[in-house]
């Protein structure tokens, strides 16, 4: 349904087409430039950064209260790249002046002069509607009533005011970073949404399997985090659905954008799983204009690459705290240095043999006559490590062998100007020690301490700061964009009252449904419930999350589902698609509907239910819990009573409810 005037929509479409033509003309004039960064790049085929055509057109438009000395007229556009031609004045979304579009009280000198902003909305790549918002300056006429597009006065124009803002922001962020505690940030609420109608419509729309860019409707608080200075390390803490992953992906694109005055040559995004990497691929493909400038890897992929061995690993995890301590990396560095002095490790030795020799030195706690540690507890731990052949097949020792691989190489095989880590609460001290070797710049960490999956990961952001050896400013997100209030309130029962602070934009919502099943029918109930949730809504994304995904797959096969050839975690039947995941694989993902099986089987951590809390909050619209064992006490409060087992033949009520 359109809300904007048809003639204005047609006008903006025409401007968008002229903009794209102008960009193509400019790009054709550019000489090919190959920028190789040597060891800075991780994938040889991406060593030359190749500009690609812009995938985005105009994002929006800004009107000022009065003309300025810097361009004719009183309005300009924000787009993927700057353009000053054909009667169009367009500034890049990554330039400082873009804060006039994204923020009411931004850092640019022109922000107080803004009377109106127009956000352009697209369907199928074409402008289909727009939303106008008032700016801080008063206006006396209808915004953008007449086209007053800017024509440049002369080829040599004075720079726009506020071009030094990034330097000011950098100094301010560095000062904030001196304390590892929450900093005061303006919080997004329903009353302060920019392009609110468009945002709420996007929130209520069915999810896609890949995250798509929300650049045009990026909110002021999100824009602040996306465009923060590259050299100021920061933690962005937020509950599920507060936009952390959106910020991570858009920040990577901003940091490498050609119009960012503090541009990074290379950025790495580290996510929890390969599913997460695929999930954010839509934003990276859409916004990153130079191939190879942003890499996205799961933490396990990083560790496997540093380890550099052919052996496959099992699904085990670290068992004791010493498995994850950063001291192991220090021991590996010492062992490698001593072995290098003896000629046992170096470029003349195969990497796998170097890793093995460093690891065996750890097991024996010595190189020659030199001991690696005289601490009795550490010496006992090292002595009890398994033989190299066995350790190389166990996920439990992956981070240790990665540390051995880094130490044996002497220098990391690749480094980055900035590293972004999403779901950062799950990394152990040893994994941080490995990542530190590939980061020659600063950090952006995003996560939620309440979602820690293990007691072996760092228990606080202060601990992470200590491991990294630098102060971290901590910013807190409180506005929930993704999940309904009903889902967040239910999952929030697993948190302390002090942590139940998220404000969901989707007020109300369908209350989570709890199904009690007999143990012998637990998994057969899943296919019936999935059919109820998806029948009539094939465009919905759905997931089944439990500790025994193979049993879910077996039950769905019996019900007539088959595995999607393109993704073995997706089951398909008559157009219905259901992703089957364990709680580890579900991290960082989102779905319209989620079915969580047997919450009582989810392993708790000290003082919390990180994995269960994460799994419950993967649902955006509807959440169903199926169980045969008692639920965790927090979920058995009044109002969460179990309902009788689902009857597949009686689905009409649920179908109407999901319509």
Confidence check: pLDDT of 138 > 70: yes
Least confident of 109-123, 183-197, 607-621: 183-197
Last residue of a domain, one of 435, 463, 480: 480
Which whole number is the average pLDDT over 113-140? 91
Is-above-0.75 flag for pTM?
yes
Assess if residue 321 is contained within a domain: yes
Confidence check: pLDDT of 137 > 90: yes
What Cα–Cα distance (Å) separates residue 605 from each residue in 44, 299, 323? 41, 21, 17
**Among the listed residues 101, 83, 112, 87, the one whose alpha carbon sits nearest the alpha carbon of residue 25:** 83
Q: Indicate which CATH number applies to the domain containing 508.
A: 3.40.50.300
In the prediction, which pLDDT does 55 show? 59
In the prediction, which pLDDT does 183 show? 38
User: Is 602 in the same domain as 558?
Assistant: yes
Q: Tell me the CA end-to-end span of the chain in Å, nearest whole number.
A: 18
Last residue of a domain, one of 409, 425, 448: 409
- For residues 124 and 9, the answer to whether their CB atoms sit within 8 Å is no
**Residue 334 banded pLDDT, cuts 50, 70, 90:** very high
533-578 pLDDT, tens digit per residue, is 888 677 889 999 999 999 999 999 999 999 999 999 999 998 889 9
What sign has the CA pseudo-torsion 559, 589, 277, 300?
Answer: negative
Rounded to whole angstroms, the Cα distance separating 304 from 315 reads 14
Query: Phi and psi of 344, rounded to 5°?
Result: -85, -20
- The token pair at 72 is 């004719």
User: Is 434 in the same domain as 544?
Assistant: no
DSSP per-residue codes, 368-402: TTEES---HHHHHHHHTPPPHHHHTT-GGGHHHHH
Assess if residue 543 is contained within a domain: yes
User: Is 520 in the same domain as 616?
Assistant: yes
User: Is 493 in the same domain as 599?
Assistant: yes
Assess if residue 461 is contained within a domain: yes
Which whole number is the average pLDDT over 46-71? 71
Assess if residue 190 is contained within a domain: no
User: Is 294 in the same domain as 432?
Assistant: yes
- The token pair at 513 is 């449904």
In the prediction, which pLDDT does 208 show? 73
Domain count, the chain: 4
User: Is 505 in the same domain as 400?
Assistant: no
What Cα–Cα distance (Å) separates residue 658 from each residue in 111, 244, 367, 622, 623? 43, 27, 65, 8, 11
Range of the domain at 508: 485-635
Rounded to whole angstroms, the Cα distance separating 63 from 3 reads 20
User: Is 285 in the same domain as 425?
Assistant: yes
Confidence check: pLDDT of 167 > 70: no
In the prediction, which pLDDT does 498 show? 81
CB contact set of 653 (below 8 Å; sequence gap of 6+)? none
572-617 pLDDT, tens digit per residue, is 998 889 999 999 899 989 999 999 999 999 988 776 788 899 999 9
Last residue of a domain, one of 117, 134, 151: 134
CB contact set of 13 (below 8 Å; sequence gap of 6+)? 126, 127
């Amino acid at each position: 349904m359109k809300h904007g005037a048809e003639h204005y929509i047609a006008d903006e479409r025409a401007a968008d087409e002229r903009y794209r033509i102008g960009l193509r003309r400019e790009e054709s004039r550019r000489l090919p430039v190959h920028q190789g960064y040597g060891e800075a790049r991780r994938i040889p085929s991406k060593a030359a950064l190749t500009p690609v055509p812009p995938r985005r057109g105009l994002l929006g438009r800004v009107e000022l209260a009065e003309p300025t000395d810097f361009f004719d007229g009183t309005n300009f556009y924000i787009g993927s790249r700057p353009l000053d031609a054909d009667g169009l004045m367009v500034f890049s979304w990554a330039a400082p002046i873009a804060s006039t579009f994204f923020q009411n009280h931004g850092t640019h000198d022109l922000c107080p002069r803004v009377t109106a902003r127009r956000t352009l909305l697209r369907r199928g790549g074409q402008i289909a509607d727009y939303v106008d918002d008032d700016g801080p300056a008063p206006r006396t006429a209808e915004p953008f009533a007449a086209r007053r597009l800017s024509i440049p006065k002369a080829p040599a124009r004075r720079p726009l005011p506020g071009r030094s803002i990034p330097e000011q922001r950098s100094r301010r962020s560095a000062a904030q970073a001196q304390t590892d505690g929450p900093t005061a940030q303006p919080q997004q609420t329903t009353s302060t949404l920019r392009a609110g109608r468009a945002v709420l419509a996007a929130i209520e729309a069915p999810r896609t399997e890949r995250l798509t860019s929300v650049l045009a409707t990026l909110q002021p608080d999100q824009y602040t985090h996306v465009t923060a200075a590259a050299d100021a390390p920061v933690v962005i803490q937020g509950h599920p659905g507060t936009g952390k992953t959106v910020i991570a992906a858009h920040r990577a694109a901003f940091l490498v954008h050609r119009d960012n005055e503090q541009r990074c040559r290379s950025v790495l995004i580290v996510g929890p799983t390969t599913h997460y990497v695929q999930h954010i691929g839509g934003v990276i493909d859409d916004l990153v204009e130079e191939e190879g400038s942003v890499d996205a890897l799961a933490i396990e992929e990083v560790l496997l690459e540093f380890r550099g061995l052919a052996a496959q690993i099992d699904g085990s995890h670290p068992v004791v705290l010493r498995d994850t301590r950063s001291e192991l990396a220090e021991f590996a560095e010492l062992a490698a240095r001593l072995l290098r002095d003896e000629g046992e490790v170096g470029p003349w030795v195969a990497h796998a043999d170097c890793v093995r020799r460093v690891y065996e030195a750890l097991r024996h706690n010595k190189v020659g006559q030199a001991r690696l540690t005289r601490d009795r507890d550490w010496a006992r731990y090292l002595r009890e490590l398994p033989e190299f052949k066995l350790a190389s097949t166990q996920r439990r020792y992956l981070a240790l062998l990665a540390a051995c691989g880094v130490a044996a190489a002497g220098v990391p095989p690749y480094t980055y100007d900035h590293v972004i880590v999403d779901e950062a609460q799950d990394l152990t001290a040893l994994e941080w020690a490995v990542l530190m070797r590939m980061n020659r710049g600063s950090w952006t960490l995003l996560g939620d301490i309440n979602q820690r999956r293990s007691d072996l990961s760092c228990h606080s952001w202060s601990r992470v700061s200590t491991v990294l050896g630098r102060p971290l400013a901590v910013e807190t997100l409180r506005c929930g964009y993704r999940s309904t209030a009903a889902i967040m309130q239910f999952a929030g029962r697993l948190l302390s009252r002090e942590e139940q602070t998220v404000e969901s934009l989707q007020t109300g919502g369908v209350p989570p449904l709890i199904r009690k099943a007999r143990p012998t029918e637990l998994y057969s109930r899943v296919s019936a419930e999935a059919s109820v949730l998806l029948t009539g809504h094939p465009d919905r994304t759905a997931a089944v999350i439990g500790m025994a995904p193979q049993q879910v797959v077996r039950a769905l096969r019996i019900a007539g589902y088959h595995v999607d050839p393109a993704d073995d975690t997706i089951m398909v039947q008559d157009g219905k698609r259901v992703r089957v995941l364990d709680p580890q694989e579900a991290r960082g993902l989102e779905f319209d509907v989620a079915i969580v099986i047997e919450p009582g089987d989810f392993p708790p951590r000290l003082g919390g239910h990180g994995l269960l809390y994460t799994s419950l909050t993967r649902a955006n619209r509807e959440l169903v819990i199926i169980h045969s064992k008692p639920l965790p006490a927090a979920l058995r409060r009044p109002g969460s009573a179990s309902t009788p087992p689902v009857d597949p033949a009686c689905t009409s009520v649920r179908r109407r409810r999901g319509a």
